[in-house]
A and B are shown apart, each in its own frame.
Chain A
């Protein structure tokens, strides 16, 4: 597998990486959801994480963000070992995430959801940033509605908006544009690129290859709880074996 080898040779020095994962393991009963994951997210890049269902992508997010403790392995975020640290401490270090199934504060208003995301940490100017975020995501007209009253697409937007409110240095996005209208998807993608240009790093789980191609600087492919290859979109797509085996889409 040439892609895997070339990407291994080009592995960046750790200083250039905001996130470094080494030998990460997590077993749920007999299922090896993380079976020795190694990966890096470089500073100021948008890394796309792809792979078939059940390959361990969302579990990786839960392990990195501290929602679930790993069995073993190292996770270095911004030069600090965070494996096993509680989720709120990791969040305060500057790591934000979204949930695949929207995990909104359902009985709070849309605006309160954004404010709650900033309640711990960057509170100064949070009210102004909440209004900006509402405008950015076209949610102004539902700002006072209960979050549970939002449409599915709007819930995804709000989930993304809360991550933005965290003012994080690394944001993990779990299928944040799935089921979202193309116009709104454009808004999210533009926001991601703009934040990247301001210095934020992203790790994005995505099934939409069009989005992966347009936005991601680098692709990481997972299967059966491991990273099998990584590299530029073109290189990954050119490797027909990878496409066939892991994406089920022969070139």
Chain B
């Protein structure tokens, strides 16, 4: 059994190494059109992972996660333009800092709420940011804001790749392999019991929330520079959060690789539909169908199919928390 576990671990390690090699040479193997799709897939895999930090591991369903993606995007856009004119790489940590401050400010009060109330509060926060960015002059209002164009597809591919790899590494190290992860999962399953074990649940939740927010802001920064133009809807919009949620549910809530599987799968399907049928509402129908199928037949998502012990039931737990308002 021990030998089997070690062999499995080595196989997993080899598979990951092979994946990384493939991802590293991919830009030279495909054309720019597919490279853009690969770049987007990496972004969504990373965003889904960032949402999963709080939603999957801590069981707090955040329906306003696009707020942090947008904060990163707007931070980079504003700081790269006059009067700041900062280089792109300097705007990423600045965006992370702004996002972290906002996450602490919004997380402090809202993380006291449970279940549906937390979901509603975070959704409202993202809506507030949309309105704010729409009415303020310095954000360019509805018209949005442009960034200095930098037309190097490979740069953006590797920027997204590095950000995604770092996001998964941090998630693995903190949520799967450390005491912090034990505390987060403990409070997801039973907050009073976690408190009785000496865990400061309010602090641990806030830490998970800030980590999750800061990771999303990095992808927002890269996205803004990549598409060279953003407006309130394109980076704060609720549909961005919706996609992250569905990707995580499809892939496997509270698992390390679930968000990667769900993120890549849904984004590629999205692009294939777009290529064949143009901009249709068909994708929304597929999102809805995916949710129904997952809830009915795959409570632990696609990753749950491969889990050794049938997954961890995190979806059922989160759904229960959402429905019951987390009364305990």
Which residues of A line the B interface, CB within 8 A? 65-67, 86-88, 91-92, 96-97, 99, 103-109, 112, 115-117, 119-121, 123, 144-146, 148, 162, 166
Does B279 have its Cβ within 8 Å of any Cβ on chain A? Answer: no
B310 to chain A, nearest CB (A): 8
> What are 10 residue pairs bridging A and B, where the CB atoms are less than 8 Å apart in the complex?
A88-B200, A104-B189, A105-B189, A107-B189, A116-B183, A116-B197, A119-B197, A120-B197, A146-B309, A148-B313
Whether B195 contacts A91 by the Cβ 8 Å rule is: yes
Question: Nearest CB to that of B179 among chain A residues?
Answer: A119
Do A162 and B197 form a contact, CB below 8 Å, given A107-B189, A112-B185? yes
- How many A-B pairs fall under 8 Å by CB? 95
Q: Which of A66, A91, A96, A107 contacts B313 (CB 8 A)?
A: A107
Whether B192 contacts A120 by the Cβ 8 Å rule is: no
Bound CA–CA A90/B195 (angstroms): 9
Kindly list 13 other residue pairs between chains A and B, CB separation below 8 angstroms, not including A108-B312, A116-B186, A119-B183.
Answer: A87-B192, A88-B201, A91-B198, A104-B193, A105-B190, A107-B188, A107-B317, A108-B189, A116-B194, A120-B198, A120-B200, A146-B312, A146-B313
Whether A166 contacts B197 by the Cβ 8 Å rule is: yes
Q: Which of B183, B189, B194, B199 contacts A106 (CB 8 A)?
A: B189
Bound CA–CA A119/B182 (angstroms): 7
Whether B195 contacts A108 by the Cβ 8 Å rule is: no
Bound CA–CA A172/B192 (angstroms): 15
Bound CA–CA A108/B199 (angstroms): 16
Does B254 have its Cβ within 8 Å of any Cβ on chain A? Answer: yes
Do A87 and B195 form a contact, CB below 8 Å, given A105-B190, A115-B182? yes
| B309-320 Cβ-contact flags toward A at 8 Å (1 or 0) | 100111001000
B8 to chain A, nearest CB (A): 14
Across the interface, which residues of B come within 8 angstroms of A116, CB to CB? 182-183, 185-186, 194, 197, 199
Does B196 have its Cβ within 8 Å of any Cβ on chain A? Answer: yes
Across the interface, which residues of A come within 8 angstroms of B198, CB to CB? 88, 91-92, 120-121, 166
Bound CA–CA A66/B190 (angstroms): 16
Across the interface, which residues of A come within 8 angstroms of B179, CB to CB? 115, 119-120, 123
B45 to chain A, nearest CB (A): 23
Across the interface, which residues of B come within 8 angstroms of A67, CB to CB? 192, 195-196
Bound CA–CA A146/B304 (angstroms): 14
Question: Nearest CB to that of B183 among chain A residues?
Answer: A119
Whether B199 contacts A88 by the Cβ 8 Å rule is: yes
Chain B interface mostly: helix
Bound CA–CA A86/B199 (angstroms): 10
Q: Which of A108, A115, A116 has the most CB of B within 10 A?
A: A116
Across the interface, which residues of A come within 8 angstroms of B199, CB to CB? 88, 116, 119-120
Chain A interface mostly: loop
| B130-148 Cβ-contact flags toward A at 8 Å (1 or 0) | 0000000000000000000
Across the interface, which residues of B come within 8 angstroms of A109, CB to CB? 309
Whether A87 contacts B196 by the Cβ 8 Å rule is: yes
B5 to chain A, nearest CB (A): 10
Whether A107 contacts B254 by the Cβ 8 Å rule is: yes
Bound CA–CA A102/B308 (angstroms): 25
Bound CA–CA A215/B317 (angstroms): 38
Bound CA–CA A162/B193 (angstroms): 10
B67 to chain A, nearest CB (A): 28
Whether B183 contacts A105 by the Cβ 8 Å rule is: no
Question: Nearest CB to that of A92 among chain B residues?
Answer: B198
Bound CA–CA A103/B182 (angstroms): 16
Do A104 and B190 form a contact, CB below 8 Å, given A67-B195, A97-B196, A166-B198? yes
Question: Nearest CB to that of B193 among chain A residues?
Answer: A103
Bound CA–CA A104/B185 (angstroms): 11
Q: Which of A66, A87, A108 contacts B185 (CB 8 A)?
A: A108
CB within 8 Å of A: which B168-191 residues:
179, 182-183, 185-186, 188-190
| B289-328 Cβ-contact flags toward A at 8 Å (1 or 0) | 0000000000000000000010011100100000000000
Question: Nearest CB to that of A149 among chain B residues?
Answer: B309
Do A103 and B192 form a contact, CB below 8 Å, given A88-B199, A116-B182, A119-B197? yes
Bound CA–CA A208/B222 (angstroms): 65
A232 to chain B, nearest CB (A): 31
Q: Which of B193, B197, B254 has the most CB of A within 10 A?
A: B197
A194 to chain B, nearest CB (A): 22
Bound CA–CA A138/B129 (angstroms): 54
Bound CA–CA A127/B309 (angstroms): 21
Whether B182 contacts A106 by the Cβ 8 Å rule is: no
Bound CA–CA A87/B190 (angstroms): 14
Question: Nearest CB to that of A101 among chain B residues?
Answer: B328
Whether B309 contacts A145 by the Cβ 8 Å rule is: yes
Across the interface, which residues of A come within 8 angstroms of B185, CB to CB? 105, 107-108, 112, 116
Whether A106 contacts B317 by the Cβ 8 Å rule is: yes
A135 to chain B, nearest CB (A): 17
Across the interface, which residues of A come within 8 angstroms of B309, CB to CB? 109, 144-146
Bound CA–CA A99/B309 (angstroms): 27
Question: Nearest CB to that of A165 among chain B residues?
Answer: B197
Whether B192 contacts A106 by the Cβ 8 Å rule is: no
Across the interface, which residues of B come within 8 angstroms of A66, CB to CB? 195
Bound CA–CA A115/B186 (angstroms): 10
Across the interface, which residues of B come within 8 angstroms of A87, CB to CB? 192, 195-196
Whether A112 contacts B182 by the Cβ 8 Å rule is: yes
